Structure 1
Amino acid sequence: MANNVIVSPHYLSSEAGKNIFKLGGNAIDAAIAVNIVQGVVAPETCGIGGDLFALIWKDGEKEPYCLDSSGYAGSNVDNIDFSSYKSLPLNHEATVTVPGAVRGWSEMHKKFGKLDFDILFHEAIKICKDGFKVSYELNKALNHHKEVLLNQDSSENFYLEGEPLKTGNIVKREKLGETLFLIATNGPSAFYEGGIAEAISKATNNILTTQDINDFEASWVSPLSIDIYGKTGWVTPPHTQSYLTLATLKAYEIITDSSKEFNPHLLIECYRSLASDRDHITYDYGDKIDSFTGLNLDYIKSKVLEINPYKTSTFKSPQSLGGGTAYMAVKDAEGNAVSLIQSNFYGIGSTIGVSNYGFFLHNRGAGFNLIDDHPNKISPLRKPLHTLSPTIWSKDGKLDMVIGTRGGRYQPQLLSQFILPLLLETSSLEESMNQSRWTLDYFDENTESHLLTEPGLEERTINDLKQKGHKITIKESLQSSFGPISAICKDSSGSWVGAADSRVETSKAIN
């Protein structure tokens, strides 16, 4: 059955998408509107100061379109002396790459949109003017970053008498509303040229030059894919870590010989073996992406050979990268779908505000390293390793699932354990959403597996994992950082159904 479906981390974002459908817009229009509102009401996740990736399924096509609208480092990063640092400071101006979201919205709309571009901004601008309720997550972020945000004009109205607004308080973002109006009226040039571009450059102490910002363009690239349990998974290519989700699931299919059994130990070890290589093979390949081997079947099989089915093995660790991201899934009645992820990175990103324009700049450049001769070392006009990992799934050339999450480095872990029961057909969408999740704590070379788990895992599963050598710490409650996953799939009746994640109280699915 044909129907419109929207799942996002905030009810106001989902409602904005619903309104776009009422006006005759398609999934692409709706996804853009959802994203714009999300950046208004949840700046701790995303906004116009961040990057964007999207997988877009057009009805009648056999594979999704893939948009990389992520930015590169500034021309002047080489002028910074990082010799006293082991890694990039999270709030350093050098971690601010050109924000790609606005250009991404424009590219998506230009290629696939139905409604006028400015209409997609109306709801967000109205919310900026009328105000919205501060969520628990926003309040937590404002508390956490209080010291650096309190006296910035981009924090307009977030603080009252030196303290962050409480959960449930109404906050207005008039300056951001004015900025969004400029973009809605004049298009992306209002952001990447003129006053806003100059203000961004100034905020980064000219590490990002106005020319860097003027020159930025989004790129339509080829998605990566692999067949797993009779379905085809599609992801964004490096410099993102998206491939890890598919590689983990494919390794599981191989090591279990296509068994329909859900084996947590094997899934965890599949991820660990592959993630140990992430920092070595995930970087900005430019026009040499054909040399990427992360989804090569022989490579995956070689990693499977490192796995012991009966106990944990030791692997090197991927770099620890945090999160501050929003994922949204949208499908329309015509069969089009969007898997969109947009991010500020570490919560409110760099926490560097753009004076007079009401928004903060991301710090996606923290995904770079400082290792000499490494392909992911911070360099002018290079893009950093990205944790963003949206997915789309097809079966027999037709759309089957739209799934993604926030979670920084955890994203492939969270997605693989959520998607596997759906591939095995052992759980419904709701059951998979409600199952307890785990993540691997940060691990150094040759350390043991240490799992952080939500309550609710079966006792026999916990005992089995411990017997195989996994250390386990059980958290007291469901973890908001273990999601929120947003997902759209078909139910047993053939209707498309969206599922939101209760781990974040503002999440909402509209079916």
Structure 2
Amino acid sequence: MSSSVIGKDAMVVSPHHLATEAGARILEQGGNAFDAAVAVSAALAVVYPHMTGLGGDSFWLTYHAGEGRIRGYNASGRSGYRATLQAYGGQSSIPSRGIPSIVTVPGMVDGWDAVHSAYGSLPWGEVLSPSIVYAEGGFPMTVDQHRNAAEHLDMLLLTAETAATYAPSGQAPAPGTSFRQPMMAAVLRRIAEKGKEDFYRGETATEITRFLQRNGGLLGMDDFADHHGDWVEPLTGSYRGYNVCQMPPNSQGFAGIMALNILEPFDLAALGHGTYEYYHLCVEALKLSFRDRDAYLTDPAFYTVPLARLLDKGYAAQLAASIELSRASVQAESKPTGSDTAYAAVVDRDGNAVSFIQSLYFEFGSGVVAGNTGILLQNRGSYFSLNPHHVNALEPAKRTFHTLMPAMALRDGKPSILYGTQGGEGQPQTQTALLTRIVDFGMDPQKAIDEPRWVWGRTWGEATRELKVESRIAPQVRQRLEEAGHIVRTVKEWDGVMGHAHAIVRDEQGCLQGGADRRSDGSAIGW
């Protein structure tokens, strides 16, 4: 097991070492945490293209030391004006890949602009410079990117534009070969010169929408031109002396707070980490929070999510009392969520902090590169329901149920723990594991990430009620979970299905500790 990276002044963590290095360089050049976070995000859009990109969404939690408050930025896109139930007449669901899956406007570039405009200190072009260098000059193809490209090769070959970038010779480029994205570099240069206007109203928007219109897509120039993200007030809960901040709907963040509320009455420390009781209680608490999440989560502009009741400690106590310590509850199967996500965090010498996450939804999103932009478009809108009575039913200009949920835990009003993970359904589960391990069991962030993990239910692929557990969990614990009624499936000892988690902790001495997931290509850099 590795130990946390230690720093006093600054820390950067991300799922790709080149993105982490980009953030560190921006800090060394005099930038602040917000400059560095945008640089990391843009770099990830280039070097982690199977997980995230300019054609996707992001969510941001920011803490400005001078203001002394947490703010959230919702950089997720809405469905197009022509995205109606009638557009999918006769279909039971929105296709998960291809042009029909491209329903929502990408919010990523708007998120960069919002965070940088509000708090950045370096010139815009300087912040985007690392991503331009990686796109234009290339970077070594990682084993993870190669594996994902090889697994999805048939899909990547379906459109000529996608194949030209991701499988130019008809095969996934070999690990270690230089992966260049000249069209992406050109787009990034235009954004660096002209700002987000290029992406939403200029040459890039024109090329994306022209391509989509030629191929039967629903998004038009008006959808891009009218896009805007939103600064929002984060949701706040409490857990054993920490204030826990999450993004409000359309993010699933409230499910993370609900799970902690349900767990709080139980003395996890006394029960012991790694025990049957620990895993069982965590899984059962999360299943209960998922039940309400699935019933209510959607765009709050279209439907009121009853957050006051869902986040009430009294309601959580009722749910906690319904848990049987010796038996698993029965939870309905549900639709699988996406897995292509990248979480990262930055803290600078002034105490500014950014916790953020971004995604294309499924690996390689829709699988469609938009014309000559090099941009893979997300398929996030495929999560909309075509049932007109469903809370998350497809409607024009609507945000869908969103799995992305960056987190912060505060102590004495200041960020103490920044944490998050890849993996749609796994995000609240792994977040719960990280926070309980750090708070209840005193683990440093690297150990909290390295300890064996689980994920219940939908992740990648088919709907399921399986409880996937890594083989490093003790055999007797796995047996007891099965005897209690959990549908246990043992997976590899460091299985990618658990997602890529990262965290930064500021300890009681004021030192920073950073942890990165060995399942990813990531790293932590601190000094």
Q: For 1:380, what is the secondary structure of its paired residue?
A: coil
Cα distance per residue 1:291-326 (max 9 Å; x no partner) = 434323233233223321221112334432121111
CA distance in structure 1 between the aligned counterparts of 2:156 and 2:110, rounded to whole angstroms: 26
Q: Percent identity?
A: 29
Whether the 8 Å contact between 2:281 and 2:325 is mirrored in structure 1 is: yes
Cα distance per residue 1:148-179 (max 9 Å; x no partner) = 32353355453243211111111211110000
Letter of the 1:17 counterpart: G
Matching residue of 1:240 = 251
Letter of the 1:311 counterpart: R
Distance of aligned partners of 1:266 and 1:451 in 2 relative to their CA distance in 1, 3 Å threshold: same
Residue 212, structure 1, aligned to residue 223, structure 2? yes
Whether the 8 Å contact between 2:48 and 2:145 is mirrored in structure 1 is: yes
Q: CA deviation at 1:124?
A: 1.1
Distance of aligned partners of 1:229 and 1:346 in 2 relative to their CA distance in 1, 3 Å threshold: same
Say which is worse superposed, 80-89 or 69-78, in terms of deviation: 80-89
Q: For 2:350, what is the secondary structure of its paired residue?
A: coil
Within 5 Å, give how 1:299-338 maps onto structure 2: 299-338=315-354
Within 5 Å, give how 1:362-381 maps onto structure 2: 362-381=378-397
Whether the 8 Å contact between 1:129 and 1:172 is mirrored in structure 2 is: yes
Letter of the 1:20 counterpart: I
Cα distance per residue 1:440-498 (max 9 Å; x no partner) = 1349xxx9963111121123322332332223221133112312111000346531011
Matching residue of 1:26 = 32
Residue 111, structure 1, aligned to residue 118, structure 2? yes
Distance of aligned partners of 1:155 and 1:307 in 2 relative to their CA distance in 1, 3 Å threshold: same
Cα distance per residue 1:244-271 (max 9 Å; x no partner) = 1121111011244996744211111111
Distance of aligned partners of 1:290 and 1:81 in 2 relative to their CA distance in 1, 3 Å threshold: closer
Report the RMSD for the aligned CA atoms in angstroms. Answer: 2.2
Q: CA deviation at 1:2?
A: 3.9
Residue 280, structure 1, aligned to residue 295, structure 2? yes
CA distance in structure 2 between the aligned counterparts of 1:53 and 1:79, rounded to whole angstroms: 27
Aligned residue among 86, 93, 102 for 2:99:
93
Q: CA deviation at 1:236?
A: 0.4
Whether the 8 Å contact between 1:52 and 1:69 is mirrored in structure 2 is: yes
Whether the 8 Å contact between 2:388 and 2:394 is mirrored in structure 1 is: no
Whether the 8 Å contact between 1:312 and 1:448 is mirrored in structure 2 is: no
Matching residue of 1:411 = 427
CA distance in structure 2 between the aligned counterparts of 1:251 and 1:68, rounded to whole angstroms: 27
Q: For 1:139, what is the secondary structure of its paired residue?
A: helix
Residue 188, structure 1, aligned to residue 199, structure 2? no
Aligned residue among 444, 466, 474 for 2:490:
474
Within 5 Å, give how 1:118-157 maps onto structure 2: 118-150=125-157, 151-157=159-165
Matching residue of 2:3 = none
Q: For 1:352, what is the secondary structure of its paired residue?
A: coil
Matching residue of 1:397 = 413
Say which is worse superposed, 354-363 or 77-86, in terms of deviation: 77-86
CA distance in structure 2 between the aligned counterparts of 1:79 and 1:210, rounded to whole angstroms: 21
Whether the 8 Å contact between 2:296 and 2:305 is mirrored in structure 1 is: no
Cα distance per residue 1:28-80 (max 9 Å; x no partner) = 00010011111111111111100010000111545411000100001111275
Q: For 1:276, what is the secondary structure of its paired residue?
A: helix
CA distance in structure 1 between the aligned counterparts of 2:43 and 2:411, rounded to whole angstroms: 32
Say which is worse superposed, 71-80 or 200-209, in terms of deviation: 200-209
CA distance in structure 1 between the aligned counterparts of 2:346 and 2:304, rounded to whole angstroms: 28
Distance of aligned partners of 1:139 and 1:258 in 2 relative to their CA distance in 1, 3 Å threshold: closer
Whether the 8 Å contact between 1:2 and 1:334 is mirrored in structure 2 is: no
CA distance in structure 2 between the aligned counterparts of 1:288 and 1:449, rounded to whole angstroms: 28
Residue 254, structure 1, aligned to residue 255, structure 2? no
Q: For 1:48, what is the secondary structure of its paired residue?
A: coil
Distance of aligned partners of 1:79 and 1:210 in 2 relative to their CA distance in 1, 3 Å threshold: farther
Residue 441, structure 1, aligned to residue 429, structure 2? no
Letter of the 1:176 counterpart: M
Whether the 8 Å contact between 1:405 and 1:483 is mirrored in structure 2 is: yes
Letter of the 1:101 counterpart: M
CA distance in structure 2 between the aligned counterparts of 1:238 and 1:22, rounded to whole angstroms: 35
Q: CA deviation at 1:104?
A: 0.6
CA distance in structure 2 between the aligned counterparts of 1:474 and 1:122, rounded to whole angstroms: 44
Aligned residue among 200, 220, 223 for 2:234:
223
Distance of aligned partners of 1:275 and 1:317 in 2 relative to their CA distance in 1, 3 Å threshold: farther
Letter of the 2:133 counterpart: K
CA distance in structure 2 between the aligned counterparts of 1:261 and 1:477, rounded to whole angstroms: 21
Distance of aligned partners of 1:302 and 1:82 in 2 relative to their CA distance in 1, 3 Å threshold: farther
Q: For 2:373, what is the secondary structure of its paired residue?
A: coil
Distance of aligned partners of 1:310 and 1:497 in 2 relative to their CA distance in 1, 3 Å threshold: same
Matching residue of 1:483 = 499
